[in-house]
Structure 1
Amino acid sequence: MRHPMLDHYDRVKQAPGVAHSNLYALDLAAYQAQLGQDDQVWMSPHSLLVKRHEPAFDRIEFLTKDIADLQSLLIRHRRRAEIMEWIGSSHQKTELIQLWRPCMAYHRCLMRMSLRVAGAPVTAPPPTLASPSDLPVLREFFDIAFDPWAERVPGVHELEDLVATHNILVSRSDNGALRGFMIRTRTGRTLHLRYLFVDPNFRGQRVGEDLFAQFRADAKTGDRLILWVFPDNPVAISLYQKHGFASDGTVNYIFKSN
């Protein structure tokens, strides 16, 4: 059955005014099909608000022509902690903090780095793919080392799918211990480095460099490579810059309910 949100999305988008949105689904019918029983949809004359249920919070996704109208919806229907992302430019931080102050507090941000592949592809040794037996350790790494508010930590089923589709590469020590991992996904000609992690016990052993080389080796001439990194992580930024990546000025600002 077609959800009323689909027609409302079209009405809001076609109405006069500047649209603001972090609802990036290209196929709204497929997006509707993914909504779970704990997800909620709210509609007003100028806004569409979707609250996606996650274990620790609701993830806010929206389309609006009136920020004040959207904020009113958020405040009126808040049920638990919330997280919201806003893709903008690097100079917008102060403006956005002020804009969202009535209902959301700034948490942190990620900057996007990208590279367009030219010339011959990079070569690397054959990759080591993660296996289902690695899942408990991978989940432990995510639990202890990642920010669930900012880094879209994958759930159990998503990790299982990523292993099954050969999108998780790992580095092992001589005794088989997991030293680090890398997750990448492809959409058309865009290759996305989603996660790169090295166990602190194995840092300084080129684990991160070798995993990143595998990411580069997956790229074909003409591909666009993207990744997101915290601006206060100079070690990672230096590694990516060494491979030709540069900030493209796009920033993902993360806000939490206040």
Structure 2
Amino acid sequence: MDNLQSINDVQMLIQQIRSERKGFITNFFLDHFKHSLWIDRNAFFYESFDDCFLLIKRNETYSYLYFISTDMRALNKALVKFFRNYIGTCVVDLVGNDSILPLKNKFVLWGFEEYELLYRMSRTGYPNVSLPIDEHIKKGVLGDVETIKILLDACFDPLSEQIPSEEELGHFVKNGTVLVYKQNGSISGFIIYELTGVTLYLRYWFVIPEFREKKIGAKLFNAFMHEGALSKRQMFWVISRNENAIKRYLHYGFSPEKLYDYVLIKK
């Protein structure tokens, strides 16, 4: 297992598989900022196999596994060899429509279990921004990062919801895509989002439990919609068993898509 030294190293692995012209399957989507952080921390590795590379992001108690391969046959051979020596918990994300099921079933045969299922919900058209933004809602600042990180770590699942690091949260803050609801200087809730072109993407939406009957979540969501007032599409991922959240999103005019994220785990 070798360290990845730069983003260029990652791009070269991708290009090498593409250049084989035998096919291309992957669950890895390059994010220059996030993956540069992994590299800087010496937490991102790869192993080379015939027509396949496996990328490994190490955490303290588990690792994320990514693959870049020409086809399922090459991936199968790579995984058999990899798990002969690998010890520990491994997590894989598989994202796609119904066509991803054969690959998901293959991973089950390789010893993975379904840990969580998420699907994407979206709505099209301009957001409803008829209500004003509540005066308690402000843009997040760097001083809010530590509190937000503590809340994310305490209330979100790191395996299925990919909690951002403090550096990533700082990046969101600097980009102006964090909204916080503050009372007496303390955070009661927050939203983290991305706005890319005409697409508004909700990443995290959270209200501290003791404040959840005060409509703070709705006020944050309204402010979020104001941030994307000119967007033509709004979307997010939701855990399939979170019925309360799904009902809330349906109320806001969102509909489920046939796009799934299978989170698989091998212990």
Please indicate the TM-score interval, normalised by the length of the shorter structure.
0.7 to 0.9
**Partner-residue secondary structure (3-state), 1:56:** coil
For residue 62 of structure 1, the aligned residue among 59, 64, 67 is 67
2: CA distance, partners of 1:209 / 1:157: 28
Matched, 1:183 2:195: no
Q: CA deviation at 1:234?
A: 1.8
**Partner-residue secondary structure (3-state), 2:256:** strand
Amino acid at match of 2:213: G
1: CA distance, partners of 2:147 / 2:210: 14
What's the Cα RMSD here?
3.0
Asked whether the equivalents of residues 121 and 219 of structure 1 are also in contact (C-alpha less than 8 Å), the reply is no
Map of 1:207 onto structure 2: 216
1: CA distance, partners of 2:185 / 2:80: 53
Map of 1:51 onto structure 2: 56
Q: C-alpha deviations, 1:57-90, integer Å up to 9, x for none? A: 2221221213312322441452542221100225
Asked whether the equivalents of residues 114 and 248 of structure 1 are also in contact (C-alpha less than 8 Å), the reply is yes
Map of 2:151 onto structure 1: 141
Q: CA deviation at 1:26?
A: 7.5
2: CA distance, partners of 1:256 / 1:201: 33
Asked whether the equivalents of residues 49 and 63 of structure 1 are also in contact (C-alpha less than 8 Å), the reply is yes
* Number of residues of Structure 1 aligned to a counterpart in Structure 2: 256
1: CA distance, partners of 2:101 / 2:217: 30
Normalised TM-score (structure 1): 0.84
Q: CA deviation at 1:133?
A: 3.1
Map of 2:257 onto structure 1: 248
Asked whether the equivalents of residues 38 and 44 of structure 2 are also in contact (C-alpha less than 8 Å), the reply is no
What is the percent sequence identity of the aligned residues?
Answer: 20
Map of 1:110 onto structure 2: 118
Asked whether the equivalents of residues 5 and 48 of structure 1 are also in contact (C-alpha less than 8 Å), the reply is no
2: CA distance, partners of 1:201 / 1:130: 21
Amino acid at match of 2:178: I
Amino acid at match of 1:22: N
1: CA distance, partners of 2:171 / 2:11: 28
Q: CA 1:81 to 1:124, structure 2 compared with 1: closer, same or farther past 3 Å?
A: farther
Amino acid at match of 1:171: Y
Moved more, 112-121 or 154-163: 112-121
Q: CA deviation at 1:146?
A: 0.5
Provide structure 2 residue ranges, at least 5 long, that are not aligned to the other structure.
none
**Partner-residue secondary structure (3-state), 1:149:** helix
Map of 2:46 onto structure 1: 41
Provide structure 1 residue ranges, at least 5 long, that are not aligned to the other structure.
none
